[in-house]
Amino acid sequence: MSAATAKAEPYKEPVQLQGLTLWMCGILLALANFVAILDVSIANVSVPHIAGSLGVSNAQGTWVITSYAVAEAIAVPLTGWLAMRFGTVRTFSVALIGFGITSLLCGIAPNFESLILGRILQGLCGGPLMPLSQTLLLTIFPKKQQPMAMALWAVTTLTAPIAGPVLGGQLVENFGWGSIFLVNVPVAIAAGFLVWRVLFSQETRTVKARVDVVGLGLLILWVGSLQLMLDLGKEHEWFESGLIIALAVTAVLGFIAFLIWELTDANPIVNLRVFRHRGFALAMVCMAMMIGSFFAINVIAPLWMQTNLGWTATSAGNAAGLIGILAIVAAPIASQLAVRFDPRKVIFCGVMWLALITFMRSQANTDMSFGQIGIWIFLAGAGMPFFFMPLIQVSMGAVNPEETASAAGLQNFIRTMAGAVATSFVATAWENSANANHARLAENMPNAQGAIDLITGGGLSPAAALATVNNMVQGQAIMLATNEIFTGAAVIFALCAFMAWTLPKPKSAVDMSNVH
């Protein structure tokens, strides 16, 4: 993501791979990309099982998602320096093998604290996999075959979010929550060693590059403090706690210091200067809002399906996975439309479609069937490529050609952080809203005592009757809270759709080879 003062080391030009060896390597790299993306979504449907097994709340259970995402976001700025210093093949192979080892640590974690530590380490290893898999594909394939290689990479990028919830639901139901991590182990470790062995002759040039240690330290400080504040806030009564106040102050001061350092350092780890381009800055605001909202509702929905509707993890996973079907179909169409027409129009239509579908999902009730819920999730998938792919094109088209790699890395960081922050925020907001709705419904419930007496007349004890009524109220409270979250997301999507018209139209075609 930044330039670096460097000293070149001896380098031997690689021999071009051909035939079956070339395509086997391509499949290995695409598989590694698949595993890295899969692990983001596979945990979504498993949160209730993890929380129940390890004795934590569902809100705390979402730390399994946010801890991975934050660690991955922190690792992204280091990817370029690691590849430059140690070589792309070596860095990728070690990261992939490390991903397998840390997946094993997650799968056998004896308690919640060990699991979170494992997820942090897993995120640090997973961060470089997606960008470096694309880099290596573009390196080993000749120009005329690069479109086919990128198509293979794109398929894994689009299918992993579908497979994640579906596979996660099946595994957690049949083999326990640890299996969602253990499934990575043989694939990641075997693929890592194979990539190292087969692609070692394709190692990229290495240089003794300087790393921005101060910038990296400040990045870890403010991002870590912010995420801890969001994750711990509810259980510590937010700003009534000295710990939360200290974390908030540290996050703010750390962020300010980070901005000052990165904008004045000659070789920053994060090149914030690309924000001087209005188009890139506005596009990143749109992306943060849209990705944050999209990620948040896709974490809340499986929780709601399991805790409120009583669905199994398999059913919740199958429903969540429906969103990717139309996304795969629409992706090539969106790419062509964004090139042939004003991409802002494509973004507007895609995001307004998501706003409409999300608003319809906010009208849900506890009596809905799998088909009634699944149809809206299925239809939502059509809008995803129409905002994501054209928005990347607009943002990359707004920066200078030599800044594309830095802008792409910063974009990936913002995308990952938006998902993590939104998940933490929405998990707390959902729980708070459910509690407030429960209190309001209980207070305004007509003839509550009559309902208890009626149930008691059926043979239940007064305590059991009271618990039954309380569960009914709680179910409606959670349903209302879920609809409020979806309504809020729909409003944000609509705002982003209109914000798309403030983006500048790309002046020329964009080289997407550096966009991860």
CA angle (113, 117, 119) in 5-degree steps: 115
Tokens of residue 261, six digits: 């350092």
pLDDT at 5: 47
- Strand, helix or coil for residue 8: strand
- Strand, helix or coil for residue 207: strand
Tokens of residue 396, six digits: 């990359």
Beta carbons within 10 angstroms of residue 468's beta carbon: 16
Residue found under tokens 């962020």: 255
Q: Along the 516 residues of the chain, how does pLDDT read in single tens digits?
A: 544 444 545 545 555 666 677 777 778 888 887 888 787 777 777 888 888 888 888 778 878 888 888 888 888 878 877 887 788 888 889 999 999 999 999 999 999 999 999 999 998 998 888 888 877 877 777 777 766 776 667 667 767 777 777 788 888 888 888 888 998 888 889 888 888 887 777 676 777 767 778 888 898 898 888 888 887 777 777 778 888 899 899 999 999 999 999 888 877 877 888 888 888 899 999 988 988 888 888 888 888 888 888 888 888 888 888 887 888 788 778 777 777 778 888 889 989 999 999 999 999 888 888 999 999 999 988 888 888 778 877 887 788 877 776 777 788 788 878 887 888 788 888 888 888 888 887 777 666 666 666 667 666 666 776 677 777 788 888 889 999 999 999 999 999 999 989 888 766 555 444 444
pLDDT at 4: 47
How far is residue 76's CA from residue 129's CA, in Å, rounded to a whole number? 9
Instruction: Identify whether the C-beta of residue 306 lies closer than 8 Å to the C-beta of residue 321.
Output: no
How far is residue 300's CA from residue 289's CA, in Å, rounded to a whole number? 17
pLDDT at 460: 62
Beta carbons within 10 angstroms of residue 487's beta carbon: 15
Non-local (6+) Cβ contacts of 279 within 8 A are: 394, 395, 397, 398, 503, 504
This prediction has a pTM of 0.77
How far is residue 35's CA from residue 94's CA, in Å, rounded to a whole number? 15
How far is residue 383's CA from residue 280's CA, in Å, rounded to a whole number? 22
> In DSSP terms, which residues pair with 8 in a beta bridge?
207
How far is residue 168's CA from residue 173's CA, in Å, rounded to a whole number? 8
How far is residue 69's CA from residue 67's CA, in Å, rounded to a whole number? 6
Tokens of residue 484, six digits: 């409020």
How far is residue 100's CA from residue 118's CA, in Å, rounded to a whole number? 11
Per-residue exposure over 310-326, b if at least 16 CB sit within 10 Å of its own CB, e if not:
ebebbbbbbbbbbbbbb
Per DSSP, helices labelled H in 265-322 are: 278-307, 313-321
How far is residue 227's CA from residue 141's CA, in Å, rounded to a whole number? 39
Instruction: Identify whether the C-beta of residue 4 lies closer than 8 Å to the C-beta of residue 81.
Output: yes
Instruction: Identify whether the C-beta of residue 189 lies closer than 8 Å to the C-beta of residue 100.
Output: yes
Non-local (6+) Cβ contacts of 435 within 8 A are: 477
Which uninterrupted H or E stretch holds 506?
none
> In DSSP terms, which residues pair with 207 in a beta bridge?
8
Residue found under tokens 């993501």: 1
